[in-house]
Amino acid sequence: MHNEHKMKLFACRNSRSFAEKVAKSLGIDLGQSDILTFSDGEFQPSFNESVRGATVFIVQSTFPPVDNLFELLLMIDAAKRASAYTVIAVMPYFGWARQDRKDKPRVSIGAKLVANILHAAGCDRVMTCDLHADQIQGFFDFPVDHIYASSVFLPHLREMNIENLAIAAPDMGGAKRANAYARYLQCPVIICHKSRERANVVGSITAIGDVAGKNVIIVDDMIDTAGTLTKAANVLKEMGALSVRACATHAVFSGNAYERIAESALEEVIVSDTIPLTEDPNKDTGKITVLSLADTFAKIIDKVYNYEPISNSFIN
Decide if 194 is catalytic: yes
- If we measure between CA atoms, which residue out of 248, 274, 257, 268 comes closest to residue 68? 274
Per-residue exposure over 276-294, b if at least 16 CB sit within 10 Å of its own CB, e if not: eeeeeeeeebebbeebebb
- Type of residue found at 309: P
pLDDT at 243: 98
Pair 167, 217: CB distance under 8 Å: yes
Mean pLDDT of all residues belonging to the chain: 94
13 has a pLDDT exceeding 70: yes
pLDDT band at 2 (very low <50, low <70, confident <90, very high): low
- If we measure between CA atoms, which residue out of 224, 215, 216 comes closest to residue 260? 224
Q: Kindly give, in sequence order, each residue whose CB lies less than 8 Å from that of residue 120, ignoring residues fewer than 6 positions away.
A: none
173 has a pLDDT exceeding 90: no
pLDDT at 315: 55
Catalytic residue among 8, 21, 194, 237: 194
What Cα–Cα distance (Å) separates residue 219 from each residue in 132, 175, 197?
Answer: 13, 9, 22
pTM given for the model: 0.94
Query: Nearest-5° angle of CA 219, CA 223, CA 228?
Result: 80
Q: For 20-63, what is each residue's pLDDT tens digit?
A: 999 999 999 999 999 999 999 999 999 999 999 999 999 999 99
